[in-house]
């Protein structure tokens, strides 16, 4: 009976969702550049040309907004981690995973920077979420590699550290992408550069998994 009396929850309106996306994008950019302490709701509101009161309508505090940015980054990252489980062929799975990680590095370098900064400082505001989300996904991916090893599809190596190797090599294109471009005499890395990175990283990983 109570269920019949409870009004259905309304979906957020499109205008509200667009505004939230704009706030998150600007917050991500500023947190990446200045860190948590160097950013205020006022600075984000000023960049978006909205009032602080309008900001508070969407996010009640800087801490809430910061966690929302990290949640958004983590969701994209976990989606790429699930790629390994969706393929039965190791090379196809690893290739797709590396491509997804590189795409994230290219499309959201600021998100990568915010996430890296938080982790490097000991995750003071995000440790619980990391423990509850990243660790289980990592263990699931390691189990996938273990299954492939039992099936004789890949050589047995330290799969946890193999995942760390993939993370670091793909994330470098977010954290150090501008430096790579300068060294190569470019203003930014091109599609061809990311394709080359994908091919090389995939090749290196696959060679380590072959006897």
- pLDDT tens-digit series, residues 13-46: 788 788 899 999 999 999 999 999 999 999 999 9
- Ranking 10-14, 59-63, 66-70, 97-101 by mean pLDDT, the lowest is 10-14
CATH topology of domain 70-208: Tetracycline Repressor; domain 2 (1.10.357)
Instruction: Judge whether residue 9 has pLDDT over 70.
Output: no
C-alpha to C-alpha distance for 36 and 33, rounded to whole angstroms: 9
C-alpha to C-alpha distance for 101 and 93, rounded to whole angstroms: 12
E-strand ranges in 137-192 read none
Read off the tokens for 199: 């091919």
Q: For residues 94 and 83, is the Cβ–Cβ distance under 8 A?
A: no
C-alpha to C-alpha distance for 112 and 132, rounded to whole angstroms: 19
- Average pLDDT on 4-18 reads 65
> What pLDDT score was predicted for residue 1?
47
The dihedral region occupied by 81, where left means phi > 0, alpha psi between -120 and 50, and beta the remainder, is alpha
| Best CA proximity match to 27, nearest among 46, 51, 54 | 46
- Ranking 9-23, 106-120, 168-182, 195-209 by mean pLDDT, the lowest is 9-23
C-alpha to C-alpha distance for 156 and 171, rounded to whole angstroms: 24
| Best CA proximity match to 28, nearest among 54, 78, 67, 75 | 67
> What pLDDT score was predicted for residue 6?
54
pLDDT tens digits, one per residue of 68-118: 999 999 998 888 888 787 778 999 999 999 999 999 999 999 999 999 999
Place of tokens 């400082």: 121
> What pLDDT score was predicted for residue 34?
95
C-alpha to C-alpha distance for 192 and 183, rounded to whole angstroms: 16
> What pLDDT score was predicted for residue 8?
53
Q: Residue 82: which residues within 8 A CB-CB, separation 6 or more? A: 137
> What pLDDT score was predicted for residue 206?
97
Per-domain boundaries in the chain: 70-208
| Best CA proximity match to 174, nearest among 102, 125, 81, 123 | 102
Single pTM value for the model: 0.84
C-alpha to C-alpha distance for 163 and 101, rounded to whole angstroms: 12
> What pLDDT score was predicted for residue 4?
53
Instruction: Judge whether residue 167 has pLDDT over 80.
Output: yes
């Amino acid at each position: 009976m109570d269920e019949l009396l409870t009004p259905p929850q309304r979906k957020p309106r499109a205008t509200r969702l667009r505004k939230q996306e704009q706030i998150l994008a600007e917050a991500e950019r500023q947190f990446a550049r200045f860190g948590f302490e160097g950013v205020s709701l006022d600075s984000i509101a000023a960049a978006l040309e909205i009032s602080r009161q309008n900001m508070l309508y969407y996010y009640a505090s800087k801490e809430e907004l910061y966690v929302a940015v990290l949640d958004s980054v983590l969701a994209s990252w976990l989606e790429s981690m699930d790629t390994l489980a969706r393929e039965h062929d190791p090379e196809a799975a690893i290739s797709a995973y590396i491509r997804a990680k590189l795409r994230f590095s290219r499309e959201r370098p600021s998100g990568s920077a915010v996430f890296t900064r938080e982790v490097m400082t000991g995750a003071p505001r995000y440790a619980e979420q990391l423990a509850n989300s990243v660790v289980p996904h990592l263990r699931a991916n390691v189990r996938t590699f273990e299954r492939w090893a039992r099936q004789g599809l890949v050589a047995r190596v330290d799969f946890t550290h193999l995942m760390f190797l993939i993370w670091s090599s793909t994330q470098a294109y977010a954290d150090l992408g501008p430096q790579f471009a300068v060294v190569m005499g470019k203003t930014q890395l091109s599609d061809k550069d990311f394709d080359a990175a994908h091919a090389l990283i995939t090749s290196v990983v696959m060679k380590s998994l072959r006897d």
